[in-house]
Each structure stands twice: as structure tokens, then as C-alpha cells.
Amino acid sequence: MGAQWKAKGKELAANARGRAFGKLSKDIMVAARSGADPAANARLRLLVEQARKVSMPKDTLDRAIKKGAGLTGEAVNFEHVIYEGFAPHRVPLMVECLTDNVNRTAPEMRVLFRKGQLGTSGSVAWDFDHVGMIEAEPANKDADPELAAIEAGAQDFEPGEDEGSTLFLTDPADLDLVSRALPAQGFTVLSAKLGYKAKNPIDPASLSAEQLEEVEAFLAAIDANDDVQNIFAGLGG
């Protein structure tokens, strides 16, 4: 959770599947503004690979690409907005949104943050590093994450969100380069994106079970908002 918060539990994950496709479609539409050909658009290529790995329906993927590239005649006007603040018990977080109406999103965020604290721009960002995040899993038993990180040019690595996976951290400018290099080092890339990693994550052991539940409930409520793309929470794994 020091890297990116995700809903926990199989039931939660199943219920969030459609919403996850919606969020990924938004990312694809925004990336496709720079061109509909994944071979010539590195950001789109990574998202297309991610969509295929999570079994997004092909017609949903194709429609998002065409819409974003302006091939359907529909306007795509998403604005990237980041909200900074604290969850209950002073857990810092960065909330990444893609919205077609900031005048709708801003008051919704103020309501969602009532049980925490909504900060001003820069009030929390100083405690996070902006990094490339690549979730990958070993393609064979001999894959060594430390060697792969060195050879592929990653800055660091740590256990990933999924069991057996590794999160490779990169300079933002090296995200695509490292993503392309990891397969040769025995790793299959599951997702690749820019994100925020807490510099000083809070140790979950310092919170009671009840307090952790309050934090989880707060983050889940924010994640349920249609305009929210990613949540990066300063809570250790």
C-alpha cells in the first residue's frame, strides 16, 4: 500500500471488475490522443497489453482506442487532476483523477474527504516520489528480480501486490524502456504506469485493527468514485 492501494478480497475484486475496465478505458482514450497505433505510441502499447492481460473485451478495447483517437466523431475531454490529503489517522495519500467535469469532481472529493483531510496542492506531494511502476511476474523459476532490475535499468524493486509478483520502480522517463527490457530477463509485465511512492509510509503495526478498517473503508469509498483512477497511500505493506 505504500505504492498503490488496491481493493482487497476476491468479492471486492469481482464487484470492481466493471469499474476497473472503465478506469482502464479512460487511460486508453487519453493515450490514444497521441495516435491509435500501439506500435508508434509507447503509452498506448503498455495499456493495450495491460487490457489484454486482464481480459478486457476486444470490442471495449477497440472502441476506447478509436474514441480517444477521434475516429468516432466523439469528443474526449478528460482532465488529469490530483487531490492530496490524509485518510483517517493521518495516512497521507495522492488521489489521481481523470474527469470531464472538474466542477463535479471537486465537491465530490470534498465530501469523500470529510472523514480525513483534503489538503492543498503540494501539502502531501513532497512526501511522495513520482516514479514508474511496473508490476511483473516471473516467466520461469530462474527469474531473479534483483538481476532483472539491474539489467533492465530499474531503480529498485519490491514485492508486488499479487502473490509472487514483483514491483519494479523506475525513473518516470524510463518506464517504457524498462518495460520492454524485462521480458528478456524472465519477467512478464502485468501493468506499467506512472505513480507515487510514499517516502515515509506509516507502519500498519502502529495502528489498531479498528483504525486499519477505518482507513480501508475510507480508501474504498474514494476508489468507488467514477472519476478516480488511482490511489497512492502512504501505508506500508
What integer pLDDT is reported at residue 212 of this predicted model? 94
- Fold identical between 79-126+199-233 and 129-198? yes
**Superfamily grouping for domain 79-126+199-233:** YebC, transcriptional regulation domain (3.30.70.980)
Which H or E element spans position 170?
strand 166-170
Domain extent listing, the chain: 10-68, 79-126+199-233, 129-198
For residue 20, the model assigns a pLDDT of 82
At residue 205, the 3 state secondary structure works out as helix
Q: Please report which residue ranges of 98-138 form alpha helices under DSSP H.
A: 102-112
The CATH class, in words, for 10-68 is mainly alpha
Query: What cell numbers appear for 41 in the block?
Result: 505510441
The class level of CATH for 129-198 reads alpha beta
pLDDT at 190: 85
Cα R_g (the chain), whole angstroms:
18
- The predicted structure's pLDDT at residue 9: 47
Question: In sequence order, which ranges of the chain are alpha helices (DSSP H)?
Answer: 10-15, 17-32, 42-53, 58-68, 102-112, 145-152, 175-181, 209-223
Per-residue pLDDT of the chain (237 residues; tens, 9 = 90+): 455 666 654 444 555 677 888 899 999 999 999 999 999 998 898 899 889 888 899 999 999 999 999 998 887 788 999 999 999 999 999 999 999 999 999 999 999 999 999 999 999 999 999 999 999 999 988 899 999 999 999 999 999 887 889 999 999 999 989 999 999 999 998 888 899 999 999 999 999 999 999 999 999 999 999 999 999 999 986
